[in-house]
A = this chain, B = another copy of it.
Amino acid sequence: MEISSKQATEEELQSYYKELEQYNVAPLWTAMADIQGKEPASKVTPYVWPWKDIRPQAIRASELVGTEQAERRVLRLMNPGLGGRTATTQTLFGGIQTVLPGEISPAHRHTPAALRFIIESDGGYTAVGGERFPMLPGDLVLTPPWAWHDHGNDTKNPMIWLDGLDLPLVNFLEISFHDQYSEPTHPITESPGTSLAKYGSMALQPTWTERKDEGSSPLMYYPWSRTREALERLAMGEDGSLYDGMLMEYTNPATGGHVMPTIACFIQMLRPGERTKSHRHTTSAVYHVVEGKGHTLVGDTKLDWESKDTFCLPGWAFHEHVNESSTEPAFLFSYTDTPILEALGFMRDEVKP
């Protein structure tokens, strides 16, 4: 067989491309530019959702819709660059959930991994895996994939928290399973404080519970009082990272690894006046300001933030954090898609030259 390539005319090519459509086939070479960039160019927009704007809307939502109708009364943080996808970064979702006094968010479970970082609350609880965990400002509560969970507000004031999920990934992979519990709440089988006593005591762990990698952390509650104390104690003797300050990871005590198979959680203290050096990594992140005032430079974009604001960082974008106070530390909670990129071999990072 003798075939040889000639330089086809544009008209021939267009006619050929048109013909291909009936076979559900398309040329790759016309799409090469989209597919094979020298390096990633994220569509995610660096963006801040200021608390002063978002809080009134969260309260307004609770006036307009009950948890019975909404099941979960959540405002989705929609990244402006992602064209209406339910996504705060490429892989991560953030939402602001409100539960009024007397309300219950009914028990269910699902394949997406979820975390709750509490913004405003006098108490209330998340029940997960048979234990009720308090929800006070700064507390982190995990609800790992396929774990039953419900939330309840037995206080006099609204509870408002940040929800972190891997919804964009789960939607992309088309592997969402969901189950509604037959009752509003699932059964409580553990005394208060058990999870923390079993897995949060220095590095002592019980021997009568098999200790192995279940994918998610058996410790599901990290109270703010101990988190803050840990940061402050460590800051006495350590300098931390040039690029992230005193950045600690909430770990899975059974493995020393990430808390869930798709999401990693971090807490970070920027000391008074601290300005971190610029770097970038393929992972993206959602940040929440626990306390303090400052800004984050993402490429040429300046994101100003203060207490209770939420903002997002695209992957492969140079960034640096600045604590604008010369007297007070700033605390940033964040969650990232590190476990996803690590598991699939896609981790890269780079210091700004």
Residues of chain A at the chain B interface (Cβ within 8 Å) = 1, 3-8, 12-13, 16, 19-20, 23-29, 31-32, 34-44, 47, 49, 53-54, 57, 59-67, 69-80, 86, 90-91, 95-96, 100, 103, 110-111, 145, 157-158, 167, 169-179, 190-194, 196-208, 211, 213, 215, 217, 219, 222, 226-227, 229-231, 233-234, 236-238, 240-241, 244, 246-256, 261-262, 266-267, 282, 314-316, 337, 339-341, 343-346, 348
Contacts and interface: CB of A to CB of B under 8 A. Distances in A.
A67 to B, nearest CB: 8
B100 A5 contact: yes
Nearest to A72: B28
B37 A3 contact: no
A53 B23 contact: yes
Contact of A237 (B4, B197, B219): B197
B178 A37 contact: yes
A42 B74 CA distance: 25
Contact of A28 (B24, B44, B95, B241): B95
A96 B43 CA distance: 29
Contact of A252 (B23, B57, B193, B203): B203
A207 B244 contact: yes
A1 B58 CA distance: 14
B29 A204 contact: no
15 contacts: A20-B75, A28-B86, A35-B86, A39-B177, A191-B236, A194-B237, A197-B230, A198-B234, A204-B248, A204-B250, A206-B238, A206-B246, A208-B238, A208-B247, A343-B344
Contact of A222 (B5, B54, B204): B204
Nearest to A264: B207
A168 to B, nearest CB: 8
A319 to B, nearest CB: 15
Contact of A255 (B35, B66, B255): B255
Given A86-B35, A157-B1, A173-B91, A57 B203 contact: no
Contacts of A341: 173, 175
B215 A203 contact: no
The 8 closest A-B pairs by CB, nearest first: A201-B230, A191-B237, A343-B343, A28-B74, A29-B70, A8-B64, A5-B66, A208-B241
A200 B202 contact: yes
Contacts of A343: 261, 343-344
Contact of A25 (B69, B78, B177, B207): B78
Given A25-B78, A175-B315, A213-B256, 16 more contacts: A5-B65, A8-B63, A13-B65, A16-B60, A23-B57, A29-B71, A32-B71, A35-B167, A36-B110, A173-B346, A193-B236, A197-B237, A203-B250, A206-B238, A207-B266, A208-B238
B226 A171 contact: no
A233 B193 contact: yes
